[in-house]
């Protein structure tokens, strides 16, 4: 008799099966949902890992996460990360400034000049020329 590594409730099993039928899932969610169903069917960690092309330890972590959180473990928790320093409005103002005529005495804008002008106009408290370059790089 095969060991059942992950007992699922009937409603959870049906939810996972319907989720997989849709076919519009992120890869992480697809792999985790498939792993949960396969573990419930009695497949070993190694067999599930080979099927999904992941490490056996990953499958065991997913199972442990499911036991703690239930189906919430299908998706990762939001990560903290560094807060945004330059928001969308500021980015738009920087881009608009770069599209304007260069100041007198200059043929065109350079990144250092833009950075100085952005701080002077009060769009940001401080900004480096590198950050200005990154903002402009992300625009067409």
User: DSSP states of the chain as a string?
Assistant: ----S----HHHHHHHHHHHHH----HHHHHHHHHHHHHHTT--HHHHHHHHTS-HHHHHHHHHHHHHHGGGGGSPPPP--PPPSS-HHHHHHHHHHHHSPPPTT-SS--HHHHHHHHHHHTS-S---HHHHHHHHHT--
* Domain range summary for the chain, segments of one domain joined by +: 10-74, 88-137
Render each residue's pLDDT in the chain as its tens digit; 140 residues: 456 678 888 999 999 999 999 878 889 999 999 999 999 998 999 999 999 999 999 999 999 999 999 989 998 888 888 877 888 899 999 999 999 999 999 999 999 999 999 999 999 899 999 999 999 987 76
For the question of whether the overall pTM of this predicted structure is more than 0.85, the answer is no
Question: So what's the pLDDT on residue 127?
Answer: 92
């Amino acid at each position: 008799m095969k060991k059942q590594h992950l007992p699922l409730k009937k409603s959870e099993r049906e939810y996972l099966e319907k989720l997989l039928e849709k076919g519009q899932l992120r890869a992480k969610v697809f792999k985790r949902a498939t792993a949960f169903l396969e573990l419930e069917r009695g497949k070993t960690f190694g067999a599930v890992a080979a099927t999904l092309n992941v490490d056996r330890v990953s499958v065991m972590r997913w199972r442990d996460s499911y036991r703690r959180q239930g189906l919430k473990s299908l998706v990762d928790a939001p990560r903290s990360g560094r807060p945004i320093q330059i928001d969308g409005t500021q980015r738009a103002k920087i881009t608009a400034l770069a599209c304007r005529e260069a100041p007198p005495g200059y043929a065109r804008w350079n990144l250092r000049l833009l950075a100085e002008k952005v701080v002077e106009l009060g769009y940001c408290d401080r900004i480096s020329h590198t950050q200005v370059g990154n903002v402009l790089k992300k625009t067409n």
